[in-house]
């Protein structure tokens, strides 16, 4: 009986070709992209809210900051 974790030859060959393709593509990524986003603190201010309310507040504020950032980029 064949081991279930063993891949057929055709899948292994396809994976090897895919790995070689991405290795070739990644060689061209010489220069990293700069980031123009404002650094964010990962701490959420605790104002006596439930965890769900804190997540909701964080999500809305991040969306607002992203919208402002995005509009600045396109102006």
Q: Kindly report, residue by residue over 27-53, the tens digit of the pLDDT.
A: 766 566 667 666 766 665 667 888 888
Across 53-72, average pLDDT: 90
Name the average pLDDT for the chain.
76
Q: What percent of the chain has pLDDT over 70?
A: 63
* Interior/surface letters 4-34, b for 16+ CB within 10 angstroms, e for the rest: eeeeeeeeeeeeeeeeeeeeeeeeeeeeeee
Distance spanning both ends of the chain, measured CA to CA: 64
In a domain, 32, yes or no: no
| Whether pLDDT at 17 is above 70 | yes
In a domain, 56, yes or no: yes
Q: Are 58 and 40 in contact (CB under 8 A)?
A: no
> Which one has a higher pLDDT value, 18 or 7?
18
Q: Which letter does DSSP use for residue 4 in this model?
A: T
- The tokens describing 26, both together, are 């990644």
In a domain, 23, yes or no: no
- The parent domain of residue 60 ranges over 49-75
In a domain, 75, yes or no: yes
In a domain, 63, yes or no: yes
Number of domains in the chain: 1
In a domain, 54, yes or no: yes
């Amino acid at each position: 009986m064949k081991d279930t974790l063993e891949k057929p030859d055709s899948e292994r060959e396809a994976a090897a070709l895919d790995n070689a393709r991405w290795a070739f593509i990644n060689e061209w990524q010489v220069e990293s992209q700069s980031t123009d986003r404002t650094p964010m603190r990962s701490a959420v201010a605790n104002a006596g809210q439930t965890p769900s309310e804190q997540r909701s507040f964080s999500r809305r504020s991040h969306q607002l900051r992203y919208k402002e950032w995005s509009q600045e980029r396109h102006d």
